[in-house]
Chain A
Amino acid sequence: MRGGDHEFTLESYKKLFESLYPQLCVFAYKYLNDLEISKDFVQEVFVKVWEDKITFQNENHATGFFYKAVKNKCLNYLKSKQYKATERYELANIEAYETEEFYMSEAVVIETTAVINKAISQLPEKAAQVIRLSIEDYTNNQIAEELSISVNTVKDHKKVAYRKLRDFLSFLTVK
């Protein structure tokens, strides 16, 4: 497929929604501490972007836009009279929430968690178990013990997993 302008259809908007919506809900939850309101807000952002015919240059741009839009919506709500009237309002929290550091670290943690989860979900079950433990800093010996398999089998599973994930994890590094 080549670059250039693509007509954005309901179908491709659905793909975008499915690739971003779960993370954005969890992200909003970090500000609002209420999953139902979080879902509503994220859905409203998706409706608005469609109605306003906003376009994106690429995936990075689209992802960044949605995180930022959801953040702004959450902060506006936290500062609103409606919220102050109904909830315990803690000024200190709002200030922490408004920092770029809170925003970026939450967004990156959630997005990275989603990317890892998606990558692992493409692996065969055993290899997925090995990688999950490996991510939690289990050594090969500990993984072998935990799953009642040999250390060599652990290494084989890792090899299979890295091979399979190679296309997913494009990279360039010095040998």
Chain B
Amino acid sequence: MGHSNKIKPLSKTLAASIIKNEIPGDLEKLEIFDEKIKGQMLTDIKASERLKLLKEIDAEKDWKTVKEKIQGSRNPYRFWAYGVAASVVLLVSISIAFVFNNINETPSFEAPIIVNNNIEVGTNKATLTLEDGSAVTLEKGTDYQTANITSNGEEIIYRNNQKAVTNNYNTLTIPRGGQFYILLSDGTKVWLNSESQLKYPVAFKDGETRQVELVYGEAYFDVSPSTDHKGAKFKVLNQSQEVEVLGTEFNIKAYKDEANVYTTLVEGKVAVSTADKNQILVPNQQSNLNLETHTISLAMVDVYNETTWKDGIFSFENKSLKDILKVLSRWYDMDVVIENMVQTEERFIGTFNKSNSIEDILIAIKSTNFINNYEINDKTLTIK
């Protein structure tokens, strides 16, 4: 077993460093290469020395030759999640610090302990609770249909049906390790993150204020404009605040285990109010309601970091490892135990694709050298 499996991850981190004009730290750590070779490699890559030849290869054409040869032996393969890997190039930085040796690969770091990895990547799933209290499990492969509702198990759509207007509310509960998309009967789109719950009317009465409740968790709202609903406003209630909008896009994060409620405005205008305060937000502004002190503070933020979770990406900027692990624990439905962490106050910038396996992400985290090692046992991740 040589170093072959490092080719891909190392190339990705190298590419990232070179594009960003950063010093490629991972190459520095590679003791397999002497200094002269490292220098030559960087020179060759930067000068695109192999690019001309690369562009001469016609993969499309040559695939036909290969296809002809293998057709007839149509044996299905078992292939682990290659679809993901091929469609999106995931970049995970791997710290490689091994000593070059013709026979043995000697890692100079402690190897992670994987006892029994039952931590899975999250999926689209939810529980729908109907007005009569009955519960329907929604997940890939389950179809659910009523007069007003259509769901393929991965999203749920409510038809606009004025005849259906009653005082009936449905509830959508997203477990840890889940996410879901809902189209409300007024055309408002809502993306719900892991460990969240939304309560909403089956149909909105024309012309009356539309009201939903984010009971807990995180949701991104793309509200159908008031002008399409005889001026009816849209309100998102939460235990501690109320957000009133006219038609706009915004994100609310109100997790049960966090002492702050964050409302981030992407587009339009919203008013955030609590029992005794009222605050208007402008785009790119985020309000932070502190539930202990009952104060609201405002900050300008990069909305990309706050909202990109709905597009399958976690983007962190200026976050502590603890914060990052908390977000990950919800998507991967895992318990995180921190036994030991170096300088937990350090702030990080990072991007992960939500289709990454937890181990791919942990490799990137470990490569920062701010954790010594980690252990996965069943659904528990222990930082050591």
Contacts of A4 in B (CB 8 A): 80-81
Contacts of B357 in A (CB 8 A): 3, 58
A166, B76: Cα distance in complex, Å = 35
- A105 touching B41 in the complex, CB below 8 Å, given contacts A18-B63, A56-B79, A172-B368: yes
Chain B's closest residue to A7 (CB) is B76
Mark the stretch among B219-227, B272-280, B345-353 that contacts chain A: B345-353
Contacts of A161 in B (CB 8 A): 19
Q: How many residues of A contact B (CB 8 A)?
A: 83
Q: Which A residues, 118 to 151, have Cβ-Cβ distances below 8 Å to chain B?
A: 118-120, 131-132, 134-137
B45 within 8 A of A: yes
Q: Is the CB of B120 within 8 A of A58?
A: no
Contacts of A19 in B (CB 8 A): 86
A85 within 8 A of B: no
Q: Is the CB of B50 within 8 A of A113?
A: yes
B283 within 8 A of A: no
B110 within 8 A of A: no
The CB with the most chain A CB atoms within 10 A, among B60, B79, B304, is that of B79
A136, B21: Cα distance in complex, Å = 10
Q: Is the CB of B364 within 8 A of A119?
A: no
B100 within 8 A of A: yes
- A1 touching B81 in the complex, CB below 8 Å, given contacts A109-B50, A111-B7, A171-B93: yes
Contact size range, B: 35 or more
A46, B13: Cα distance in complex, Å = 26
Contacts of A175 in B (CB 8 A): 317-318, 346-349
- A21 touching B57 in the complex, CB below 8 Å, given contacts A16-B82, A104-B3, A171-B364: yes
Contacts of B163 in A (CB 8 A): none
CB of A84, distance to nearest CB on chain B (Å): 25
A47, B65: Cα distance in complex, Å = 10
Q: Which A residues, 1 to 45, have Cβ-Cβ distances below 8 Å to chain B?
A: 1-10, 12-19, 21-23, 25-26, 29, 35, 39, 43
Chain B's closest residue to A11 (CB) is B83
Seen from chain B, the residues whose Cβ lies within 8 Å of a Cβ on chain A are: 2-16, 18-21, 32-34, 37, 40-41, 44-51, 53-57, 59-60, 62-63, 65-67, 69-71, 73-87, 89-93, 100, 102, 120-121, 123, 304, 313, 315-318, 324, 346-353, 355-357, 364-365, 367-368, 370
Which 5 A-B pairs have CB atoms at the shortest separation, nearest pair first? A8-B77, A64-B4, A172-B350, A59-B85, A8-B79
| Pairs A–B under 8 Å by Cβ, sample size 23 | A6-B83, A7-B76, A22-B57, A26-B54, A35-B53, A43-B69, A47-B66, A47-B70, A56-B80, A60-B7, A64-B5, A64-B7, A105-B37, A108-B10, A132-B48, A135-B46, A170-B90, A170-B91, A171-B13, A172-B93, A173-B349, A175-B318, A175-B349
